[in-house]
Amino acid sequence: MSKLFKLFSYLALALVVLTSTISARADIVTSSEYVMIMDHDTGDALFEKNADQPMKPASMAKIMTVYLLFEQLKRGDLTMSDEFIVSEKAWKKGGSRTFLEPGSKVTVSDLLRGIIVQSGNDAAIVVAEGIAGTEDAFAELMTNKAAELGMQNTVFGNSTGWPDEITTTTARDLAILGRAMITNFPEYYPMFAESSFTYNKITQPNRNPLIYGGVNADGLKTGHTEASGYGLVGSAMRGNQRVVMVLNGMSSINERKNESIRLMDLTFRMFKKQTLVSQGDVIGYTSVWMGERGVVPITVNGDISKVMDKAALETMTKSVDWPSYISAPIMEGQEIGRLTLTISGQDYYYPLVAAEDVPDLSFYRYPGAYINYLIFGLESKSVKND
């Protein structure tokens, strides 16, 4: 083979594709009209059904009301002992209630539990008025925050989820909100797992059936109106794996309870966290020009893990892409190429980096190395596959 042909071969990009056995993906069947089941760590969709179709959130909208209140607490603008005054409007609001007295002062701590545990419409309106002056102004803050979080199809017309012509969302957007709540407020999130709350000598249980369902759930919120049907934003954790689940459009309380518990348990049994590539694993090698060593091993800069079902794991493909040579000096961790994982038809990209340092040659060794290159070309190593 001529040296010119060899050189062009070395300058070409190294591309290797590893393909696994194909098997059929298991189906999830559910009576819920709208579904989004999401891996909390990555935001990857594990299962979806009508996830981007507009729907009414009902009291699941109160998650955003709580989110904005948590923000005020985290910034130090409010404390749990601060008090808001109960307006006539809040006191008269129908639906689920915390039974607040008009004109009374209620602590932020009690209002939060009134919303989270009891789904109190009165408590949500008191919070809205206490933060923004009016519920309409607060609803505008809710909509703005939704856009900031990437909830692209959500608009709020009030703080409670009470039926109106404005308020609309999607299952995907509510999953995004649930994930943000858990991620951004770990110090306050445990409130969602409280089983009951007593106010004004009236004890009400948490309305979330997942809390009592034996599936390691710790949140988040139910909702129901005639227009929306019965819905739920739930989250549970088993081991190091957390799932966020949104269901809506079911026909009864019992259906919501049974379906949410069944789907949460099924999700953890079907979808497992898989370490696909470990930090330090040598993916392959590339040649080094004018270095102390002729090749450098290539790896990833951290463990790569995904939550997936067995079928997705078996049909996953990996491809690597990097130059066939790189000039010294090379630093450990220096980005060299890219790893692509194709999972269920979607591509995920990760940087590939040098696994070790390769110093450049000292000046007096350059002439000999250059002559060696003219005679033998660059040292070449093939990509190593697992």
Active-site annotation, residues: 59, 62, 119
Asked whether 244 and 44 are in contact (CB, 8 A), the reply is: no
Phi and psi angles of residue 106, each rounded to the nearest 5 degrees, phi first: -125, 135
Q: Are 106 and 124 in contact (CB under 8 A)?
A: no
Q: Is 254 exposed, middle or buried (0-12, 13-18, 19+ CB in 10 A)?
A: exposed
Q: Dihedral, CA atoms, 377, 379, 382, 384, nearest 10 degrees?
A: -170
d(CA 173, CA 170): 5
Whether the Cβ atoms of residue 118 and residue 97 lie closer than 8 Å to each other: yes
255-274 as b/e, with b when 16 or more CB fall inside 10 Å?
ebbebbbebbbbbbebbebb
Q: With contact defined as beta carbons under 8 Å apart, do 351 and 301 qualify?
A: yes
Question: What are the φ/ψ torsions at residue 330 (nearest 5 degrees)?
Answer: -125, 135
Give the C-alpha separation, 202 to 217, whole Å.
Answer: 25
CA 287/CA 296 separation, integer angstroms:
6
